[in-house]
Amino acid sequence: MATSDSREVVIEATPEEILDVIADVEATPDWSPQYQKAVILESYPDGRPKQVEMTVKAAGLTDVMVIEYTWSDDGVTWTLVKSGQLKAQDAGYTLTPEGAATKVRFDMKIDLSIPMPGFLLKRTLKGGMETATDGLRKQVLKVKKGS
C-alpha cells in the first residue's frame, strides 16, 4: 500500500540556489542522515544528474536504489528505477518565489515491498520529510553563506 506525505518550508534563497543544492546529490549525505552514499550514473547535457544510485538507511534497513530526476525551472521530481526495499517512490520539490525567499513544497509517495508496522513507517517518513525540508533549508543557507 502506498503512503504519501507533503511538507512546506520557506528558504531565504532563490529557486536557482535551492535547485543547485539539490543537484549536488553527492553532497546529500552531508545534510541528510538517511543517505549514506550517492553516485551519479548519468547526467543531462546541462550537468544536472539524471540517474543516481543512492544508498539509504532508514528504519534499520539499508537499501541501494536507483532514481531518475526530471528538472524544471520551478522544481525537480524523481521516480524510482530500482530498489530492494521499495516497489515505488515518487517525490519532488515545487519552488514558488516569494519576494527574496522561496516557498518549497516537498511531496513524496512510497510503496514498500516489505511489510513494516504503520507507526514505524510514519515515524520514518516524518524524519525523511523533516530532512527534505528543514535539512535542505539549513544546507542552502550554509552554501549561500560560504559563497
Please write the tens of the pLDDT for every residue from 114-142. 777 777 777 777 878 888 899 999 999 99
Q: Are 52 and 69 in contact (CB under 8 A)?
A: yes
Name residues of the chain where pLDDT drops below 50.
none
Q: Tell me, what's the pLDDT at 126? A: 83
- Provide the CA 109 distance to its chain's centre, in angstroms: 12
Q: Tell me, what's the pLDDT at 121? A: 73
- Domain range enclosing 66: 2-146
Q: Are 5 and 110 in contact (CB under 8 A)?
A: no
Residue 26 DSSP code: G
Cell numbers standing for residue 32 = 541528510
Q: Tell me, what's the pLDDT at 60? A: 75
Q: How many domains are there within the chain?
A: 1
Q: Are strands 75-82 and 61-72 parallel, antiparallel or unpaired?
A: antiparallel
CATH of the domain at 100: 3.30.530.20
Q: Tell me, what's the pLDDT at 28? A: 92
pTM, two decimals, is 0.90
